[in-house]
Amino acid sequence: MGIEALVNDFKARGISPRRLVAFIAGGANMLKSAPLDIPAMRVGERNVEMAHEVLSEMQIPIIAKDVGGQRGRSVVFDPSDGIVYVKTLEETRMHRLM
């Protein structure tokens, strides 16, 4: 999974996983006509659940999230100030991580 690969890359660069925190974005229901009573159609929701599981197993705290809804997102992280910008078609939201 991508989270594990990213954490392994950090480890290879000498960054301890204990220093990491997580922000989860996404999990929108992009298939508007999909019947949500069928679990296989709730792809976004399942992705968020899996991210929670993996991060919990790796003991990486989730300090903020922007998930669900009906719209896709674009995410930009500014490491200089610790702000995550989450943009949808309607708005841009900011989440301060540090």
- Calculate the average pLDDT of the chain: 87
Q: Is the pTM of this model over 0.85?
A: no
Q: What angle do CA 56, 45, 19 make, to 5 degrees?
A: 25
Is the model's pLDDT at 94 over the cut of 80? no
Is the model's pLDDT at 97 over the cut of 80? no
Give the integer Cα–Cα distance in Å for 90 and 9: 35
Give the integer Cα–Cα distance in Å for 74 and 82: 17
Read off the pLDDT of residues 10-57 as tens digits, 9 standing for 90 and up: 999 999 999 999 999 998 887 766 666 776 677 888 899 999 999 999
Looking at the structure, give the CATH architecture of the domain made up of residues 2-96: 2-Layer Sandwich (3.30)
For residues 56-85, give the mean pLDDT.
92
| All structural domains of the chain with their residue ranges | 2-96
Is the model's pLDDT at 69 over the cut of 80? yes
Bigger pLDDT: 82 or 29?
Answer: 82
